[in-house]
Amino acid sequence: MEGLLDFVLRDILTRVGGIDRCVSEFIRITDQLLPERVFTRIVPELLSGSRTLAGVPVRAQLLGSDPVCLAENAGRLAGLGPAGIDLNFGCPAKVVNRHGGGALLLETPEIIFDIVAAVRRAVPNHMPVSAKMRLGFNDDSRAVECALAIAGGGADELVVHARTKAQAYRPPAYWERIADIRAAVRIPVVANGEIWTVEDARRCREASGCDMLMLGRGVVTDPGLGWAIKASMNAAAPQNRVGWPEVLPRLAEFWHVVCTRLDARSRAGRLKQWLNFLRRRFPEAQTAYQQIRTTNDPALIDAWLAAMLQAQLVDGASGRKAAINAIPPVCA
């Protein structure tokens, strides 16, 4: 999810728990061999064993349409030790499709096969190669054919977003079509699309037959969703949801990392972007979003966050909540 689920948000969300593996934003491959610094800029986890600070492995995703160039770049990327290499056959963005990449490749399963096979040959046998696809471009008539091309090319795992490019992100997701794909291929299949709640996850597993789920916008909106889904599958586990008192300290940590690692011009925008997602789940996030919507001054945001944290301490002081008082205002 370009521009959203970058290394900063991966860091914070994996601290909450319930996430077994991450996939990076796509690295666009055109007609050249990229220098290593491009890979590490987009996936800085490559510099720390390809894991987030919480220890969750990260696969690096490549997007392109030229099998030879993708293979050459995958070979260089493999030298940096990613937890795996993922291939993007699902991006619906017009600028990507206009240049022959992403979901447009679902119109040409033979090229998909060539890409997967070339990348598989270019990286060590022990390194997982996975792929993500949608059900199709304009319709889902070639969904199984594309999945077979991915599996036939040597992919170790397939993630299926249960909509076509034409359907974009409009609900519903057609999870039952993932079951058709799962029946046709002999590699693990992961279901993705329109999973916002524990109940959505349950229905998706039933309809798709998949044990594994990939979360996107749902976990950005509800950082505890992965943890809640796992807990729901274990009758002995506590079923409490992650609430705003737990999210607010993570928001402060997010702001800390944003101010430490990102360009000053984009910092306030990133905080507002995440709050915009969070307000779908938390009424408190709606209030917070309105309070800083017109603010771009880091010092004012520091002061606002400090006041929010202090108010939470006053409302219900505890040892767990008191730890948030130690988060430094790095942008002032």
Distance CA 189, CA 153 (A): 15
The one catalytic residue in 22, 91, 146, 259 is: 91
Angstrom distances, CA of residue 261 to CA of 12, 268, 299: 13, 13, 17
**Residue 91 falls in the annotated catalytic set:** yes
Are residues 258 and 270 in contact, defined by beta-carbon separation less than 8 angstroms?
yes
Spatial distance between the Cα atoms of 13 and 146, rounded to a whole number of angstroms: 32
Count Cβ neighbours within 10 Å for each residue of 42-74 and write b for 16 or more, e otherwise: bbbbbeeebebeeebbbbbbbbbbbbebbbbbb
Active site residues: 91
